[in-house]
Amino acid sequence: MSEATTITRRIALAPDVDLLPLLGKNDDHLRTLENELDIRIVARGHDIVLKGEEARVRKGERALTQLAELVRAGTPLRQMEVRAALRMITDDEDTDLKSVFADAIAVPSRKKWISPKTVGQKRYVDAIRGHDMVFGIGPAGTGKSFLAVAMAVSALMKREAARIVLTRPAVEAGERLGFLPGDVYEKVHPYLRPLYDALYDMLEAEKVQSLMEKGAIEIAPLAYMRGRTLNDAFIILDEAQNSTAEQMKMFLTRLGFNSKMVITGDVTQVDLPSSRHSGLIEVQGILKPVPGIAFVYFDDHDVVRHHLVSAIVRAYDAHGAQVARDRAPRDGAPGADPSASPDLS
């Protein structure tokens, strides 16, 4: 960094801004911004001084100014929110963080409310509110399933839905588990565990058990959906990339009156045998023109797990693109037909 590009900016925070949640314990949030932006940040009471390359300092200034407004509004800040805020501002300097983070989904958990952490997640939540059928497609860690379950729990608590139906295909992720002992519940439970985890994060365990006993929450493998019509329900199909084309059509036609359906999945992680086509991949070409159905796509910018997950997603995407380029026939290569599309299957 040359001295010619270095500037110093001072932010004077309002006296009513609580510094601890803004700066983080031991100024952890400031350290996160420093490391991500490669600038120097020093807090002296309600004055914060930023020094570094001009464009980076201005990003840090926008991030801190908007994060301070979130703290004033009572929004809790963790390192995840700080990283997400910086990503959003980097992608679009006009991003209004408050419009994203303050969109609370009310759930009766210790957290009391859940909110989107990226612009993509905000778009997803808005799509669920405004459509009866929504497809959330993207890589791991983007909150597709978690936010869908949060919306379902909120709808149940507000009596906007009479029950929640959660389902997944019972497909092994590359392993061969062999014969599983026990009754039907014990056989399929390992496949459905992630849905239970999301529920327990939003409801007390006793409440989940009580609602399941009353039939207000049902968790079942996808095969159990055949022949049913689901009225007054909030229905979620998770890991939909592992549904076959036939299963996807069967599931989508279960939608009944006064019901909402959310389908989530990652088309880069299909665990079906090579002879079976993924219903989630096929359905995009079939249903995109249908009014009333929304498709929301996530990418590595929407990852809200450990920051390395986002880096892993980018690395795999780059690797996949390189493999596709290497496999594509080159112009003039022996046997290549210039008029034919490359076969990337």
Is-contact 57 10, C-beta < 8 A? Answer: no
Torsion-angle region of 142 (φ positive above 0: left; ψ -120 to 50: alpha; else: beta): alpha
CB-count exposure of residue 258 (10 Å: 0-12, 13-18, 19+)? exposed
DSSP 230: B
DSSP 159: T
Is-contact 242 270, C-beta < 8 A? Answer: yes
Its pTM stands at: 0.75
CATH 3.40.50.300 region(s) of the chain?
Answer: 105-322
pLDDT for the residue numbered 175: 43
CATH 3.30.1370.10 region(s) of the chain?
Answer: 3-101
pLDDT for the residue numbered 279: 94
Angle (CA) 65-59-51 rounded to 5° is 90
Q: What CATH number was assigned to the domain covering residues 105-322? A: 3.40.50.300
Token readout for 140 is 């791991």
pLDDT for the residue numbered 50: 93
Kindly list the distances between the CA atom of residue 227 and the CA atoms of 171, 184, 222, in Å, as whole numbers in the listed order.
21, 19, 12
Top-level class of domain 3-101 = alpha beta
Structure-token match 């100014």, residue found: 65
CB-count exposure of residue 3 (10 Å: 0-12, 13-18, 19+)? exposed
Is-contact 142 267, C-beta < 8 A? Answer: no
Q: What residues of the chain score a pLDDT lower than 50?
A: 1-2, 173-177, 335-336, 338-345
pLDDT for the residue numbered 273: 86
